[in-house]
Amino acid sequence: MLTYEGGRAVYLINVSIDVKIKMDFSIILHLFIIFLIILLFKVKGGVEMIIKPKFRGPICIMSHPEGCEQNVLDQINYAKEHKIDNGPKKVLVIGSSTGYGLASRIISTFSAGAETIGVFYERPAVKNRTASAGWYNTVAFDKAAKESGYYSRSINGDAFSEELKRETIELIKKDWGKVDLIIYSLAAPRRIHPITGETYSSVIKPIGKPFVGKTIDFHDHKVTDVVLEPASELEIAQTVAVMGGEDWEMWIDALKEADVLAEKATTVAYSYIGPEVTHAIYRSGTIGRAKDHLEDTAIKISERISHIGGRAFVSVNKAVVTQASLAIPAVPLYISILYKVMKEKELHEDCIEQIYRLYKDWLYADKLILDNQGRIRVDDWEMREDVQEEVLQLWNEVNSDNVNELSDIDGFAKDFFKLFGFGIDSINYNQEINQEVEIPNIINKI
C-alpha cells in the first residue's frame, strides 16, 4: 500500500499477520536501476576480464578469444593464397573446431570455395570462465566465412548421439539436399553408445608389456623416464569403442539411409602412425588398436557407398601439436625433435599446410596414390628416411642438459599456447576483453 510519511512516498508491505515493513520508494527505484544495468551488461556479453593461461594438469583450461581469432585468420589467409580447382562443394566436417578438423573446414571454404557444416562439442563462456578454444575458433571461422559470402552453419553437441546425426541430416536436406565430402575428425576421451547407452572411456597405454621411454615437461624442459603399465583387455576394447571406426560408420550409414550422399561422395577419417620410438605407446598401443579398427572401417564404408561411386579413405597425417599432445608420454619430446629436423630441412608443416596437400595432391588430384594398405600418406615428409635417421640420432642423445640445443621445445610450447589463443605477438594480453562471444545461427544441443 502506498502512503506518505514526512513528505515521502513509502510502501507498506505485509510480511506476516500484524507485521509491516516500510520501504522507501527511492530505494526501490535505485534497486530497479541497478537491475537494468546488470541486464544491460548481460545483453552486451558480460563483464570484461584479463585472460591468462591456466592449467589443470596437462590441459590449458583458459582460452583467449582474440588470440584464437588471429590464429584462425592466419590459417584463412594461407588458404586464400592456395586455391584448389575442382574441389568439394558441400562439406560436412565432424569434429570441426580444432586441429585437422578446423583446417579441413578452412581449406574447404577458403581454398576450394565450398559451403560447410561443422559439428563439434565445445563449451561457451560462463561467468569468469572463458569458452573453450574450439568455441572461439568457430566464432572466428563463421565470422570470416560470412564476411566473404560463404555459407557456414555449426551444430554443437554430442556427435556420437543419434539426435545430433538426425539434426545434421535435417539441416543438409533443408539447405543443401546432398553432401559430397564428409570429414571425420573426432577426438574424444569418452563415448556414450547411442544404442546401448553404455559409456566407454579411452586410455593411452601400451599393450602386452610396460612402456619405458623418455618424455618431457615443456614447462621446465626436464627430460625424464616414464613407465606405463599395459592396458587390460577391457581398456583396449573401450578405447576401440571410443576412437575406432564404429561411429564413423554410423554417420555414413545414417547419411546414406537419408539419401543425402551426393554421387561420388568422399569421406575421410584422420589417423597417425609415427616412428618406432613412439610405437609402443601409440601405434602398437591402445590408440593404435583403435586406428587399426578405423582403417578396417574405411574398407567397409567404401563397399557400402560404392553403388554411388563413393569412396572412403584414411589419411595418415603428420605429427603436430594438439590439445592432447601433453597427455601422451614421449610424443611432446618426439614432436620437438621432429620440428627441429623438419624446419632445418624446410619441410615443416602445420595442420593447414597438411590439409591443403591432402586436398590438392590426393583427394582432388588427377591421380590418387595410396600405400600398400590403401591409405593416404600425408605424413610422407615426416617419415622420409633422412628425417627419421636424424630424429632417432637426436632422440638417443637428448637429455635435460641439451634439450634446448637438440630439439625445438620452444617451438612446441609456442604452438601449444597458440592453440588456446596465447603467445601471439599482435595480441595485448594485459587488456581486458569480453570473453562471452556467441556463434551466430548455431544449433546448440548441449
In angstroms and rounded to an integer, the radius of gyration of the C-alpha atoms of the chain is: 26
Average pLDDT, the chain: 91
Q: Residue 266: helix, strand or coil by DSSP? A: strand
Mean of the pLDDT values across residues 317-327?
Answer: 88
Q: Is 174 exposed, middle or buried (0-12, 13-18, 19+ CB in 10 A)?
A: exposed
Q: Is 50 exposed, middle or buried (0-12, 13-18, 19+ CB in 10 A)?
A: exposed
- Kindly state the cell numbers that stand for 71: 590464429
CA dist 438 → 33, 124, 131, 422 (Å): 26, 8, 10, 20
Q: Residue 1: helix, strand or coil by DSSP? A: coil
State the Cα angle at 397 between 278 and 407, rounded to 5°.
70
Mean of the pLDDT values across residues 387-412?
Answer: 97
102-137 as b/e, with b when 16 or more CB fall inside 10 Å?
bbbbbbbbbbbbbbbbbbbbbbbbeeeebbbbbbbb
The answer on pLDDT for 15 being more than 80 is no
**Cα 119 from Cα 139, distance rounded (Å):** 13
- Residue carrying C-alpha cell 561411429: 247
The pLDDT of residue 326: 78
State the Cα angle at 159 between 192 and 197, rounded to 5°.
20
In order, the DSSP letters of 125-143 are -BTTBPPPHHHHHHHHHHH
13-47 as b/e, with b when 16 or more CB fall inside 10 Å?
eeeeeeeeeeeeeeeeeeeeeeeeeeeeeeeeebe
Mean of the pLDDT values across residues 147-167?
Answer: 98
The answer on pLDDT for 123 being more than 80 is yes
The answer on pLDDT for 14 being more than 50 is no
**Cα 443 from Cα 164, distance rounded (Å):** 10
Tell me which residue of 317, 330, 320 sits closest to 395, measured CA to CA.
330
Catalogue all structural domains in the chain, each as residue range(s) with its CATH number.
2-44 (no CATH), 55-444 (3.40.50.720)
> Distance of alpha carbon 272 from its chain centroid, rounded?
16
**Is 282 marked active-site?**
yes
| 59 — pLDDT class (breaks 50, 70, 90) | confident
CB 154 within 8 A of CB 117: yes
Q: How many CB atoms are closer than 10 A to CB 226? A: 13
**Cα 183 from Cα 181, distance rounded (Å):** 7
What residues contact residue 50 under an 8 Å CB cut-off, 6+ apart?
429, 430, 431, 432, 433
> Distance of alpha carbon 3 from its chain centroid, rounded?
62
**Cα 410 from Cα 393, distance rounded (Å):** 20
Mean of the pLDDT values across residues 379-389?
Answer: 98
- Kindly state the cell numbers that stand for 428: 595485448
The pLDDT of residue 204: 94
The pLDDT of residue 253: 98
**Cα 374 from Cα 349, distance rounded (Å):** 23
CB 412 within 8 A of CB 332: yes
The answer on pLDDT for 114 being more than 80 is yes
Mean of the pLDDT values across residues 269-287?
Answer: 95
The pLDDT of residue 29: 53
- pLDDT tens sequence across 159-189: 999 999 999 999 999 999 999 999 999 989 9
Q: 282, 339, 356, 359: which one is catalytic?
A: 282
pTM here is: 0.89
Tell me which residue of 286, 294, 292, 293 sits closest to 207, measured CA to CA.
286
Q: Residue 389: helix, strand or coil by DSSP? A: helix
Q: What percent of the chain has pLDDT over 70?
A: 89
Q: How many CB atoms are closer than 10 A to CB 268? A: 25
Q: How many CB atoms are closer than 10 A to CB 74? A: 15
| 39 — pLDDT class (breaks 50, 70, 90) | very low
- pLDDT tens sequence across 193-226: 999 999 999 999 999 999 999 999 888 999 999 9
| 128 — pLDDT class (breaks 50, 70, 90) | confident
